[in-house]
Structure formats: structure tokens, C-alpha cells
Amino acid sequence: MKKIEAIIQPFKLEDVKEALKNIGIDGMTVSEVRGHGRQKGHREVYRGQEYQVDLLPKVKLEMVVPDARLDEVVRCVVQAARTGKIGDGKIFVYEVAEAIRIRNEDRGDAAL
Amino acid sequence: MLTHSASDPMQDQFLIRGDAAAVQAARTAEVDLAVQRAFEEHLQPRFPEGMALLAVGGFGRRELFPYSDVDLVLLVRQEPHPGPERDALSAFLRTLWDQRLRLGHSVRTVADCCSLDDRNIELSISLLDQRFLTGDDQLYAELSAALPRFFHLRRQDLLNHLCRLTRVRHARYANTIHHLEPNVKETPGGLRDFQLVRWLSQLRSSQPYQMPVPSPFPELEPARALLSMLRCYLHYRAGRDSNLLTFDAQEEIARLPFISAAGFAEWMRDYYRGARLIRRAALHWMETSEPGGSALLAQFRDWRSRVSNSDFTVARDRVLLRQPGQASGPEYIKRLFLFIARHGIPPAADTRRRILDSLSSLEPLLNAGAGYWPFFKELLSLPHAGLALEAMHETGVLPLILPEWGGIDCLVVPDYYHRYTVDAHTLASISVLEELPAAPDPLRQRFAGLLEEVESRPLLLAAALMHDLGKAARSGNHVPESVRLAEAALTRLGASPEERRTVTFLVDRHMDISTALGSRDLEDPAVAKALASRCQTEERLKDLTLLTYADVSAVHPTAMTPWRLEQLWRAYLVTHEELTRELDADRITVPPSASYPPQLAAFLSGFPARYLRTHTEEQMMAHLALHQKALVDGVAVEIRREGGNYILWLATRDKPFLLASIAGALAGFGMNIRKAEAFSNRQGMVLDSFVFEDPSRTLELNPPELDRLRLTLERVLSGRLEVKRLLQNRPKPPAARRAHLHPSVTIDSEASPSATLIEVVAPDRPGLLYDLASAISSSGANIEVVLVDTEAHKAIDVFYVTSGGKKLSADQQSELKQRLLAACSPS
């Protein structure tokens, strides 16, 4: 099993969720996060006051998938989240040792 | 969906008839028997005397639900000793646990039962419902003799404790009954509140020698029966003590054979109406059971009582009617809600009851709110309008004035994001805006700043009140229906066409910004342009931003996260920037309508596109007439009174110091400029409009002064009179009301392709615009476009200036900035 962590633009969340749903991935955790990579922040001026925006709003998606579906899911997220501009985000993939469904203690792929 | 069970005939009967009382009676009898048998088996041999078994709480009342806890008191003459006595007790409890009963037990002597322990007052309260099951009846007789005196002596402590616990519980549920997925036991208006009413009535009627009994509450009985049925169903459905009425359960219950309402939204309305009755009774009993409170609180309440007037008394921080007989008079009722909105003091339970009793006679007199706009507008302008609207909702007056409200009253729209019914969400959106100025965090303070700047707070709040009216249609897209209902309501209430236009515009576009936040890239200039086009003007952008803030924040207490606040602010900034940029760049090049006469098309050519968005065709024709007069006479001036302000329209040929001259002439007459716009067209003609106030009422008290002002303006503009002479005798401006606002001057060369943008934010004062315009003109710059606004103490002036037809150089910008800052602070 692999854990996929995708940091994407907030306005792409619905597109990515829809694309994942279309390939049968319904379960995920979504968090509102802030951060920056190469995109960095920017300066805003309003009414003569300057605001330095260092950390930009992003959305973090987390999901665990069977090994066999990793490439398909990653491809799906990339396609749905891409605008081609700096700031589109990143995807990280981790090994998962075990998954357990709390309700009935299913384990492994059955718990996903 | 819960189906019939082969092993539980009681459950099967319930699913056919929905009779919770039968389930409770059978369940109680069953548990009574089990407990008595276990007592006889394990405790009776060890304690032939000196121990009695009492049922307390719901078990004591014979109101056990299928999976309720079973609360017992083991009344003893003395504490059981370790060894065989304790072993017998353990065996008794184990036997009952093995029968899957969830036991709550305590071992107490008579003295324990008749003493108040701050750490366990719940025990004393549970004894209000005690019932003898088995054991030493002599010991129980001793308790029965002592308990009434105990309750009578300590009743106020118990009343206070019950009220305090209830307030904490209500706060945990945001003090509202309108949860989309309520807990039928704990939510305000739930079964616990019904029991609270019984306990409070019991304690209030206590006598020293007689066990208190609760009063009957026949008016609450249908609501209690409904709640009991729901709790019973939820227990059977979950197979445990679960009281959460989820969306799934609501849909299932709607299909039960004994539910007659069409669809779950309809019978959920029955639920909320019942819960409202129970909560109202609970608040009434709490309010009349609690004493004055701490000395400090009493002092504060005493201070609040000073706002009492000939109509209303304020006592214990609640409004009471001095003339209860007038509760059926519309004028008196209007004054009551305005009083609440002004002072932020809720009505007393007695006041609410009297209004409720008068509703049938009030209804024809209120006439569906026809002509009530002045009242509504005044109410919405007051600092605690949300509290007043909530009181109007709670007492049933709001739907009499705004019948459209009836459609969203207690309306459930299944949505896993929303937490409250549509009416509660709507009222919360108004409270959210009212609480904004007191918000401590800097992120929210930005929005509080916007709220200070909105043109009309009553219109913004009216839009918030009406933004979801269309949800009653349950069509999927509620916005068009909300617009239709808002238009109908505002017309009936008597709002002006301009006010109707503003409110329906806001209702129509209240989803635009939140939709963009969720699905558009705010970095994309096309998104900012599209949003700017939807919002049309800066004023409406502010309104829509605040409406979005209120709408999202009212979804549930944690919906507006700091992350979302930042996103919303970013959307505001990019749209604001776009609107400011296009003020100069986006000019009218082709007639916006083929039906416009050629003279009008020529007149409009070259004006900023904003002009079209902020003026009606009727106003444009009036401006055209003024323009044509100016072509003949050189200057044309029109001044008219509108509301509390005066409006000046002026057409003339563009020339240096023009704006400064007009502003100076107005300041010389002691007028205070609130708003101004200056546009020039392709023919070099200028149309200026000013909104000004007359703080000394000079024009009102001396009508000939209006003609003198008009003449003076014409003379100043034709060069026959120097503005400086007018200003020589001008009184000194008063000190700024909010000294902490420091003037700021922002200069932006990128905003427009042809001019330099200058934004000045400064404390307002008479003559400020004259000083700023003079500073710009005397530096040799030309003012191309002006947008002046004043909100409370703050003047926000935007100028687009050029020098020799080009943008200002860096040196010119620097010099002008210093001049403007100096002009903001008159020495």
C-alpha cells in the first residue's frame, strides 16, 4: 500500500475529487494548508499598507491506495490539478506498513 | 432502514404504531422485575434490613427508553463492610450487567441523600424522581419523611445549579434548536429541557412536609410525545443509547407508517416547532427561577435598567412591557423591537408570552408588513438588529411582517456542510456581521474596516436577511427565487426602487465570490476581471465580500477558518484592484445601447464605464440636459435635496483647479462633502457630482442660501470669484473624531495605462477635498477621474492624475505625496 499526499491549488480541489471519483477513489482526507515552494509569496498593498504574503493557501489531499493502483491515481491527480503554472503543487508518495479499519479490524487492502 | 425484529415484539409494535409510552412502560416493568429479582437473590439474604433499592432519574419516572441507562440508589443504614457485604453488592451488579443493563448506581445513607454535595448535585436532582423498588420499607419511610424538608430548604441552590448546567449545555449547542442533525435529548428544546421544566416546577412548588410533584404541561405534551418517539426509534436503530437525529434517520422516519407529514422536511418542521415550545418554556422557567446573581452583575443590570422609558422597563437585563395591554398594538410592537435593537437587551419571558398571545389580533393590523420599510430600515441600522430580528422570529412577529420568511422557518435542507436550518443560518449571518467590529484578530479586522465603509448598512443586512428566502422552493438553485421573493417583499414593505435594486443585486450575486473561491484561480487576471464585472462597483464589491463573509461564517461556528478568511480577502483585493484600474482605463467607446439618442451617445463617449453602472437612464438624460445647458452658458448647476443630504450636479468645460474650486466653494458655505465623482468626456466637458451634508442646517433654515450657493458656484467656475476669498472666514475644522487614523497616500503607476492613481485615506474634515485637489492642481498635475467617499470618520479619495498628458514621473510622485500628506493634516 502507498500513501499519496498531494499539495494542490485550492481551486483545483473539486476537479481532482471528481477525477478520483471517476476512477473509483472516494476516500481521502482534505486539509486547508499554507505553504510555498518555488512560487514564493507576494506583496500586497491595500490603502497604503503593505502585506507580505509569505505562505500561500493550498489544499492537501491524503489517500492510501493499493500498490497496483499507485500510478493510475498519481496520473489522475496530476492531470486534474495541472494548470501549467508555477504553484500547481507537488505529490509525495510513502510506503504504508499496515491499514486497519477500526469498525471491524479489516486489514491491508480490505481496509482501504 | 430499521425492520421488524424476530426477537423483539415490542420493537415490532413500535414500528407499526410509534407508541413510545408503551415501550417505556414495558421496558420499565421488565427492568423493575430484573432488578428486584437480582436484589432478592444477592442482597436480600445479606441485608434482610437496612437496605432499600430505589429507581431514580428516567427509571424512577418509568420513562426508560430501549437502551437508556438504568439509575439506581442503594439506600443503606450504614456503609456496606468489605467482605461478604461488598461481595453481595458486586454479585448484584454483575448479574444486572450480564443482562446487558447499563447501570448507574450509588450507595447512600439517608443523611447522604439529604445533604447537598457540590461535587454531586446530580444525585440530589435525580432523587426528585425517586421510586421505591424493594427492600427495607422502614428505611425508605425515613427517607420519604426527610426528603421534602431537604428539597424545600435547598431549593434555591438546586434551582441555580440546574439553570447553570442548562446554560452550559445550551451553549454547547450554540443556544439554538435549529441544528440540522439535532440530538433529541441534549439539544435546546430536547427531552432534557422538557425534564428541566418539570424539575423547576417541582422545586418551585416544594413544601416542607410533602414530596414535590411536577406541574402538568399539557401544551408541551405533543412535543414531548414526538421527542419520545424519535428517541425510541433512534435507540432501536442504533442498538444503543444514540440520540442523534441524522439525515439518514430523518429520511427513514419519514417513511414510517405512523408519520403523516409529506417528506422529512415537513415532519422535521413539526420537530422544530415542538422543540421551540419546549425551549421557550425552559427559558421562561429558568428566567423566573434564578435570583439576581452576583453583586457586580446586579450592579451592571441596575445600570442597564436606566435605559427604561415610558414604554418599557429593563429589569434583570430583560425588557418588560409597562403597558402589557398594548402588546397587540403595531406601533407599540415596533417601538419594542427598535428598543431591543438599540440597547441589545432581549425581551423577558413575560414579554415574549404577551406578544405570542397577541399574535392573532396583531396579524391583520401588521398587514403583511405593507409600508413597514421605514421601520425595517431603522431597525437594520441599529447596533443590535440581529437580536431584535431573533426576538421577532421567536415571537412569530417576523413572518407577519415578512410572510416570505414562513417558507424558510425551520426549513431543513440536507447538506453535510451546513449545521443549522435555513432561518437560523440567516439570523446567524446577521449576528456575524454585527459582531465583526469587536473581532480581535487582525484578519477579521480587515473585514470590520470594510463594514465601516459600506454605503448602507440597512441594505446590506436586508440582503443578508433575504439571501436564502428562495430555499423554500427547494429547486436546487435558490438564488433566482430569493431575488423574486426579495423584490416582492421590498415592494410591499415600501422600499424605493434604488433600494430594491441594491438589495436584489446583492441577493442575486451573493454566491459569486464563494463560487470563485472554490473553483477559480485568483492569480488569473481573467478571474479578477470576471469578478469585477459581476460586482460592478467598489461599493458593491464591499457589500458582496461582507455578505460572503457572513454567509460562510453562519454555516457553522468553525466554517470561516483563517485559511478561508485569507482566501476571501485575496478575492476582495484582486477584484478591488481590477475595479480601481478600470476606473480610468475602461472608457465608454461605443453607445451601450442602440436605443440611446445620438446626443446621449456623444455625451457619454469617453466617460469611465463605471458611469453606466452607477446611473439610471433617467439620470443620464438629466445629465445630458445639464451638459447641453453648459454648452450654451459655460456652466450648469443643479442642486437638490435627497434624504438628509444634498446632491450637486455640475457640467462645465474642463480646466485646471476645477475640482478644487467646487470643493472650496462648498467648504466656504460650511458644507461637508460625503461623496464625489468627476468624469470627463471626449469633448473635454466635465460632469461632476457631489453628495454633501449641511451640518449647520444653513440651507434648510435659510432657503435663499441655496440660490446663493448655486450662484456662487457659477461665479467661481466662470472665474468671477476667487475661492480663497470664500474660505477666508471659514470656521476651523473640528478635531478628527478618530485621531488614531493616520493619513495614508498610495501612488500606483501600474494601475492605469495612461494616468497615475493616487489613493488618499485620511480622517475626514470639512475642506479636506478642497485642500487635496488644490495640492494636486498646484503641483501642475491634471485630475482626470475622481472618486471620493466618506464613511463615518474616514475619507477615501481616489484620483487619476496626469501631467502634460502623461503619467507622473518618480520625482513628481514623491513631491505630490508630501504635499498631499501635508494637506491631510491642516496646521
Residues B171-182 have pLDDT tens digits of 999 899 999 999
Question: Does A72 reach chain B within 8 Å, measured CB to CB?
Answer: no
Q: Is B563 on the interface with A (CB under 8 A)?
A: yes
The three cell numbers locating residue B307? 435605559
Task: Choose among B518, B570, B744: nearest Cβ to A47.
Answer: B744
Going by the DSSP 8-state scheme, the letter that residue B719 receives in this structure is: T
- Which of B567, B576, B761 has its CB closest to that of A57? B567
Residues from chain B contacting residue A85 (CB–CB below 8 Å): 521, 523
Query: Which residues in chain B touch residue A52, judged by CB atoms under 8 angstroms apart?
Result: none
Is residue B103 within 8 A of residue B53, CB to CB? The reply is no
Q: In terms of C-beta density within 10 A (0-12 exposed, 13-18 middle, 19 or more buried), how is residue B344 classed?
A: middle
Torsion of CA B208, B213, B215, B216, to 10 degrees: -160
pLDDT > 80? residue B594? no
Instruction: Give the per-residue pLDDT at A38.
Output: 66
The predicted structure's pLDDT at residue B4: 53
Write b or e for each residue in B490-505: b if 16 or more Cβ atoms lie within 10 A of its Cβ, otherwise e. Answer: bebbbbeeebbebbbb
CB spacing of A9 vs B522 below 8 angstroms: no
Q: A-chain residues within 8 Å CB-CB of B519?
A: 11, 14
Give CA B805 to chain center in angstroms.
Answer: 50
- Among the partner residues A9, A34, A47, nearest to B521 by beta-carbon distance: A9
Question: Under an 8 A CB cutoff, do B746 and A47 touch?
Answer: yes
Q: What whole-number distance in Å separates Cα of residue B126 and Cα of residue B122?
A: 6
The average confidence (pLDDT) of chain B is: 88
d(CA B312, CA B309): 5
Q: What is the pLDDT of residue B732?
A: 57
Nearest to B786 by CA among B807, B759, B766, B806: B759
CATH 3.40.190.80 fits A2-111, yes or no: no
Residue B293: Cβ within 10 Å count: 13
Report which of B523, B513, B580, B588 is spatially closest to residue B549, judged by C-alpha positions.
B513
- Quick check: B620 and B648 in contact, CB under 8 A? no
What pLDDT does B42 receive?
93
pLDDT at B220: 95
Residue extents of the structural domains in chain A: 2-111
Listed in sequence order, the DSSP H helices in B494-585 are 497-508, 512-519, 525-535, 538-553, 562-585
CA A50 – CA A44 distance, rounded (Å): 6
- The shortest CB-CB distance from B745 to any of A14, A46, A48 is to A48
- Specify the DSSP class assigned to residue B522: T
Q: Is the ipTM of this complex over 0.90?
A: no
List the 752-811 stretch of B: residues with Cβ below 8 A of A. Answer: 759, 761, 796
Tell whether the model's pLDDT for residue B387 goes beyond 90.
yes
User: Which residue in B417, B523, B745, B813 has the most chain A C-beta atoms within 10 A of its own C-beta, making it the best mutation to test that interface?
Assistant: B523
Taking CB atoms and an 8 Å limit, are B567 and A14 in contact across chains? no
Tell me which residue in B521, B576, B745 faces A11 most closely, judged by beta carbons: B521
Nearest residue, CB atoms, B561 vs list A32, A45, A47: A32
pTM check: above 0.90: no
In this structure, which amino acid lies at residue B702?
N
Q: Is the pLDDT of residue A53 over 90?
A: no
| B518 vs A: CB within 8 A | yes
For residue B43, the one-letter residue type is L
Report chain B residues whose CB lies below 8 A from the CB of A33. 563
Q: What string of DSSP letters covers B189-212?
A: TSHHHHHHHHHHHHHHT-BTTB--
Q: Is B442 on the interface with A (CB under 8 A)?
A: no
Rank A101-110, B165-174, B611-620, B696-705 by mean pLDDT and report only the highest: B165-174
Residue B133 has a CB neighbour count (10 Å cut-off) of: 20
Q: How confident is the model at residue B419 (pLDDT cuts 50, 70, 90)?
A: confident
**Res B517: pLDDT:** 86
CB contact B522 to A (< 8 Å):
yes
Question: Between vectors from CA B132 to CA B128 and to CA B135, what angle results, nearest 5°?
Answer: 140
Cell 443590535 belongs to B384
Q: Which three cell numbers stand for residue B673?
A: 462633502
Q: Is A11 within 8 Å of chain B by CB?
A: yes
Q: Is residue A49 within 8 angstroms of chain B, CB to CB?
A: yes
Query: Looking at residues B330-351, what average pLDDT do you find?
Result: 93
Q: What are phi and psi of B811, to 5 degrees?
A: -65, -45
> In B, which residues are within 8 Å of A44 by CB distance?
573
